[in-house]
């Protein structure tokens, strides 16, 4: 039994580029890309896209440079970078397969090309690491765990079963899903920092961007309870980036030497 479980684990185990972390992937890359394509098409029909030629050119230029260094880690990606006209939304996202969306509301915070490279490299890193497939896989395991718990308690009263399942749901959210989401965000920060350096963008810009974003978050009443958040606190992100900066600067100097 133990051998069978080990074989199953190894069959669905992947390794994250750059960080080398092991991950469980129960969804194939083809399935993941199909989901990403379908959802991105829906968003392009639902949300207006920016008609600003200069801003679109900027997004495409930065996106292509970042994608060029990420291609080796995700060779089957279908990179697409779309600027959505949402001035009130300071955000960006990435769907499986390399579909990256940037909202115009984040541009005043990115401020310059290096700041935009920080955001795009972070989102590209999410695609490369297949965080979407990993989250789906975790969700499947949590769902199966809940069913197993319910089956194991079938002789208990309905009230006892309901309490146990509610506790399981809260425990899996706070203990598994949210920490993993924060872990994914920090991992994307890490890999994104390396990618932007390899693409010829000064990685110090990443720290400056997150300082600006932190100030923006505080103005909007940002989160103070990290353990109940899907994203790490801004100071956590900045501290990690500062610790990774020497390595990123090495990559940046190598890139400048080759240019």
Residue 204: half-sphere exposure toward Cβ, Cα within 13 Å: 5
218, two tokens: 């505080």
Higher pLDDT, 53 or 162: 53
Residues recognised as catalytic: 123
In a domain, 231, yes or no: yes
In a domain, 45, yes or no: yes
Q: Is 91 left (phi over 0), alpha (psi -120 to 50) or beta?
A: beta
Higher pLDDT, 107 or 21: 107
Higher pLDDT, 155 or 58: 58
In a domain, 140, yes or no: no
pLDDT in tens, 5-52: 333 333 456 777 777 777 766 667 777 778 778 888 999 999 999 999
Task: Write down the pLDDT at residue 26.
Answer: 67
Q: Are 83 and 110 in contact (CB under 8 A)?
A: no
Higher pLDDT, 71 or 162: 71
Q: At what angle do helices 131-152 and 158-172 cross, to 10 degrees?
A: 160
Give the range of the structural domain holding residue 213, as residue numbers without chain letter: 29-133+174-258
Higher pLDDT, 207 or 164: 207
In a domain, 83, yes or no: yes
Task: Write down the pLDDT at residue 239.
Answer: 93
Q: State the Cα–Cα distance between residues 115 and 179, nearest whole angstrom.
A: 26
Instruction: Reply yes or no on whether the pLDDT at 214 is more than 70.
Output: yes
Q: At what angle do helices 53-70 and 178-198 cross, to 10 degrees?
A: 90
Q: Are 205 and 259 in contact (CB under 8 A)?
A: no
203-212 burial by CB neighbour count: b if 16+ within 10 A, else e?
bbbbbbbbeb
In a domain, 237, yes or no: yes
- 67: helix, strand or coil: helix
In a domain, 5, yes or no: no
Q: State the Cα–Cα distance between residues 191 and 129, nearest whole angstrom.
A: 9
Q: Which of 37-51, 120-134, 172-186 has the highest mean pLDDT?
A: 37-51
Task: Write down the pLDDT at residue 25.
Answer: 67
Q: Are 115 and 122 in contact (CB under 8 A)?
A: no
Give the number of other CB atoms < 10 A from CB of residue 245: 17
Higher pLDDT, 180 or 172: 180
pLDDT in tens, 65-78: 999 999 989 888 88
- Summarize the confidence of residues 91-110 as an average pLDDT: 91
Look at the chain and report how many structural domains it folds into: 1
Task: Write down the pLDDT at residue 178.
Answer: 37
191, two tokens: 């890999």
């Amino acid at each position: 039994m133990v051998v069978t479980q080990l074989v199953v684990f190894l069959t669905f185990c992947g390794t994250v580029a750059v960080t080398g972390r092991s991950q469980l992937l129960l969804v194939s890359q083809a399935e993941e890309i199909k989901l990403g394509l379908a959802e991105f098409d829906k968003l392009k029909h639902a949300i207006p896209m920016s008609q600003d030629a200069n801003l679109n050119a900027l997004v495409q230029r930065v996106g292509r440079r970042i994608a060029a260094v990420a291609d080796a880690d995700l060779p089957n990606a279908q990179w697409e970078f779309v600027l959505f006209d949402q001035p009130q939304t300071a955000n960006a996202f990435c769907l499986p397969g390399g579909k990256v969306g940037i909202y115009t509301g984040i541009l005043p915070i990115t401020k310059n090309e290096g700041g935009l490279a920080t955001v795009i490299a972070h989102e590209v890193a999410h695609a490369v690491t297949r965080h979407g497939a990993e989250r789906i896989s975790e969700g499947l395991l949590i769902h199966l765990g809940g069913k197993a718990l319910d089956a194991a308690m079938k002789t208990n009263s309905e009230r006892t079963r309901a309490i146990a399942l509610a506790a399981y749901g809260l425990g899996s959210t706070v203990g598994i899903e949210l920490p993993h989401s924060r872990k994914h965000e920090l991992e994307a920060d890490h890999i994104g920092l390396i990618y932007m350096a390899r693409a010829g963008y000064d990685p110090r810009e990443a720290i400056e961007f997150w300082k600006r974003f932190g100030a923006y978050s505080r103005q909007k009443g940002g989160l103070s309870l990290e353990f109940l958040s899907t994203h790490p606190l801004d100071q956590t992100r900045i501290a990690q980036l500062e610790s990774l900066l020497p390595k990123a600067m090495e990559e940046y100097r190598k890139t400048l030497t080759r240019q």
